[in-house]
Structure 1
C-alpha cells in the first residue's frame, strides 16, 4: 500500500524535511539543554522551551498537555518514547517519583517492566520501527498495538497497523492473538476498512533473559504483512474474445 498523502504539497514537504533530520535536531537540542523528564505511572512528563516544543511536535514524540504556564510546554511521553530518548538516543535523563536523581537504564528498565509486563517486547518493536525513521503512535483506537507513518501524521495517513507477537515463550499472552482464523479475519477486515496494511512483528527472544536492556541486542524481529486476498489482482491480464463477444 502506497502512502496516502494529505494534500498535493505534502509529499514534497516531507521529502524536503526528512524525519531522520528532525530527530537528529531534537536529539542535539535535548542534549544541550540537559533535558529531564519525570516518570510517574505509565508515562513521563517533560517540560521544554518553545524551540524544543516545535521539534517534539515535528518528530512526533509525546503529546502536548494544555496548561496555564506560558514559559514552558509540557509533553506526556509513553514509556516506549521516554526509554527510546533515554536509552537509544541518549538525549534525555529520567527521574522517577520524588527522587531528584536521574535513573540509569537498568533502573528504568526494571521500573517499566513492573508497570508493563510486555514492555521489553513492545519497546523492541517500537525502537525497531523508529530506527527505520517510521513515526510510531499508539494503535489502541484500531485494536492494534501501534500505527506507523512514513512521516508526520499531518502530512500522511498511517500505512501500517502493527501487532507485536513473540516467539519462544508458550506462556506469553502476546502469542494468543491471531491463533484463530476468526481473529485474523476480523483484524484484516478492520485494517482494510481504515486503509491500513496489517504488519505483524514477531519478536524472537533467542533465549535472552529480560534482566537488563542489553537483552534487546539478542532479540530478532521478523516483519510480516498480512492482507486480504483480492481475486481481481490475481486474474490474468488479458482479454479473451469468445464467439465475438469481449
Structure 2
C-alpha cells in the first residue's frame, strides 16, 4: 500500500516541509530554552510556549493537555518520546517532583522498572524516528505503533507496527499461531495499513543501562495477505467442464 494523502496539495506541502527539518528546529528550540520535562506516572509532562507548542505539534511529539493557564501549554510525552528527546536528541532534561534532574542511567532505570519491555519498544521507536517516520501509539489497532510518512493531518498512517523479540520469548504472546497472523492481517487490511514486524535481536544481554541499545539489531519484515485472485496466472483459462 502506498501513501494515502489527505487532500490534493498535501503531498506538495509535506515535501516543502520535511519532518527531518521540523525535528531539527524542535531540537534547537528545546536546547535554547533549556526545557525540562517532569516525570508524571509513566509519562513526562513538558511545558511549552507558543513557539515550542507549534514545533511539538508539527513534529508530532506528545499530546497537548488541557489546562486553565492561558499563556502556557503542557504536553504529555510518552516514555519513548521523552527518552528519545533526552537520550537520542539530547535536547531536554528530565526532573522528578523534587526538581532533581535524572541522568540517562537513572531515567533508564525508571522507564524499565515501570515497563519491562521498554528497551525493545524504545529501540523500535528510535529506529523508525531516525528514519524520519512519525510514530504514534497503535493501541487502537491492536499494535504497538503506527507510522506516518508525515504529519497525520496530511497523510494516513502507512504501517501498523508490531515489536517482537526472541529474547523475551515473545512474552506478549502475539503471532504465535497462524490464526493470529490472519486476524492481524485482516484488521490491517480493513484500515488500509501494511503490517510491519520489527524483530529486535539482542546481541549481548545487558539491559541495565542505555548503552545496551547499541547491542540491539532491528530486523524489518512487512507481511501482507496473499489473495488467490492476485496470484492466478492471467493467461491460463480455467476449465469449466464438469468431470
Q: Is this a same-fold pair by TM over 0.5?
A: yes
Instruction: Report the counterpart of residue 35 of structure 2 in structure 1.
Output: 35
Residues 208, 219 of structure 1: 8 Å contact kept: no
Q: Which whole-Å CA distance do the structure 1 matches of 2:15 and 2:205 have between them?
A: 39
Matched, 1:173 2:171: yes
Instruction: Report the counterpart of residue 123 of structure 1 in structure 2.
Output: 122
Q: Which whole-Å CA distance do the structure 1 matches of 2:43 and 2:234 have between them?
A: 53
Instruction: Report the counterpart of residue 204 of structure 1 in structure 2.
Output: 201
Residues 136, 147 of structure 1: 8 Å contact kept: yes
Q: Which whole-Å CA distance do the structure 2 matches of 1:92 and 1:24 have between them?
A: 13
Instruction: Report the counterpart of residue 23 of structure 1 in structure 2.
Output: 23
**Shift, 1:237, TM fit:** 4.7
**Shift, 1:168, TM fit:** 3.1
Of 162, 175, 184 in structure 1, the residue corresponding to residue 181 of structure 2 is: 184
Instruction: Report the counterpart of residue 45 of structure 1 in structure 2.
Output: 45
Q: Which whole-Å CA distance do the structure 2 matches of 1:167 and 1:205 have between them?
A: 8
Q: Which whole-Å CA distance do the structure 2 matches of 1:232 and 1:24 have between them?
A: 46
Residue deviations 1:127-166, cap 9 Å, x none? 0000000000000000000000000000000000000000
Q: Which whole-Å CA distance do the structure 1 matches of 2:40 and 2:54 have between them?
A: 24
Q: Which whole-Å CA distance do the structure 1 matches of 2:49 and 2:235 have between them?
A: 61
Residue deviations 1:14-54, cap 9 Å, x none? 00000000000000000000000101211100001100000
Q: Which whole-Å CA distance do the structure 2 matches of 1:224 and 1:160 have between them?
A: 11
Q: Which whole-Å CA distance do the structure 1 matches of 2:167 and 2:194 have between them?
A: 26
Q: Which whole-Å CA distance do the structure 1 matches of 2:149 and 2:28 have between them?
A: 22
Residue ranges of structure 2 left out of the alignment (5+ in a row) = none
Of 207, 218, 223 in structure 2, the residue corresponding to residue 226 of structure 1 is: 223
Change (3 A) 1:73 1:65: same
**Shift, 1:235, TM fit:** 3.1
Q: How does 1:1-246 map to 2 (within 5 A)?
A: 1-96=1-96, 98-170=97-169, 172-174=170-172, 176-238=173-235
Residue ranges of structure 1 left out of the alignment (5+ in a row) = none
Residues 20, 133 of structure 1: 8 Å contact kept: yes
**Shift, 1:209, TM fit:** 1.2
**Shift, 1:233, TM fit:** 2.7
TM-score, normalised to structure 1, is 0.94
Residue deviations 1:95-115, cap 9 Å, x none? 12x221211010000000111
Give the 3-state SS of the residue equivalent to 1:168 in structure 2. coil
TM-score, normalised to structure 2, is 0.95
